[in-house]
Copies of this chain bind each other. A is one copy, B any other.
Amino acid sequence: MSEPIYVVGHQQPDTDTICSALAYARLRKNKSEDVVPARAGALNPETQFVLDRWDAEVPLLLDDAADEQLILVDHNEYSQTVTGTEHAEIVEIIDHHRIGDIETSEPILFRNEPVGSTATILTQLFDDANETITTQTAGLLLSGILSDTVVLRSPTTTDRDRTVAGRLADIAGVDYETYGKDLLSQKSKIGEKSPREMVLSDFKEFDFDAHQVGIGQIETVEPSVVLGQQETVLEAMDDVATERDYAVFLLLVTDLLEEDSTALVAGPEIDPIEEGLDTTFTDQESFLPGVMSRKKQVVPFLEEAFNSTGP
């Protein structure tokens, strides 16, 4: 029996990462390969809701990937991988983000496409392989798309995401607007968390020209739940920035209904953030009209600002 290949998404897993790991492991298993879906951390409440709704298994928790064979889904930079990935063999990557710092010795399949979710690309891969998409797999893939695109409202949404979501909703037997609202309400269940859990619940770490930068995002229909306890939230952010020696920790509190964000900031290097986002922070806070996407409306501009600043 050969060693298994783990399909694993990014740290602080979200619904697209978990559902993509499950769906792609299925596709590969259909070719009778020993492929196991895995995850890099705890499930968030939205993802738990999705797995319950579609009666799907929880992927295996992968603590240390050293010496394993990995298929990365929904990420392609080391700062977001499971511990030990530097010493693992990466055999494939399926993603929809910027191209990161992963290098391989041998040619591998790396399929990165500028669409709203990894689940959108995976649906294409099922089609390319002439594999039937079951009701359950359709439910998982649809959840990945709707979660990552905020029910097809985020500026990252493409026509392909819309077409694929419609088709998957038909197979899954749900109305995607209604089901999407159920998802969003789960995403908004943040009032039950501690401030530290809140700011780290959807969190990514970047290395911009040797500056470590943390960028969290809270997508909610009730931003007042977060902003009403701003002082303790900023304390939690200050603690994280200090512990992890971040140049800066940026938190986007995104209002899903108004389609804009309030940014909070902690750590020493606020200047590149102000420059990159063309804004000014007062008391560590700034309002960003129209900003909904960390990936498209924030990360590229911060990277550019840090690069022009120098280390």
Residues of A within 8 A of B (CB): 93, 96-114, 295-296, 299-300, 303-304
Distance in Å: Cβ of A22 to nearest Cβ of chain B: 22
Establish whether residues A108 and B103, one from each chain, have CB atoms under 8 Å apart when the complex forms.
Answer: no
Closest to A100 in B: B103
Closest to A299 in B: B105
Closest to A106 in B: B300
- Interface core residue of A107, A296, A299 (most chain B CB under 10 Å): A107
Q: Which of B98, B108, B110, B296 contacts A104 (CB 8 A)?
A: B98
Establish whether residues A107 and B102, one from each chain, have CB atoms under 8 Å apart when the complex forms.
Answer: no
What B residues does A100 contact at CB under 8 A?
103
Closest to A114 in B: B107
Distance in Å: Cβ of A72 to nearest Cβ of chain B: 11
Establish whether residues B103 and A101, one from each chain, have CB atoms under 8 Å apart when the complex forms.
Answer: yes
Closest to A301 in B: B105
Q: Which of B93, B97, B113 contacts A109 (CB 8 A)?
A: B113
Establish whether residues B109 and A114, one from each chain, have CB atoms under 8 Å apart when the complex forms.
Answer: yes
Closest to A101 in B: B103
Establish whether residues B114 and A106, one from each chain, have CB atoms under 8 Å apart when the complex forms.
Answer: yes
Establish whether residues A110 and B112, one from each chain, have CB atoms under 8 Å apart when the complex forms.
Answer: yes
| Separation of A93 and B111 alpha carbons in the complex (Å) | 10
What B residues does A299 contact at CB under 8 A?
105
Establish whether residues B111 and A111, one from each chain, have CB atoms under 8 Å apart when the complex forms.
Answer: yes
Establish whether residues A96 and B105, one from each chain, have CB atoms under 8 Å apart when the complex forms.
Answer: no
Establish whether residues A107 and B98, one from each chain, have CB atoms under 8 Å apart when the complex forms.
Answer: yes
What B residues does A107 contact at CB under 8 A?
96-98, 112-114, 295-296
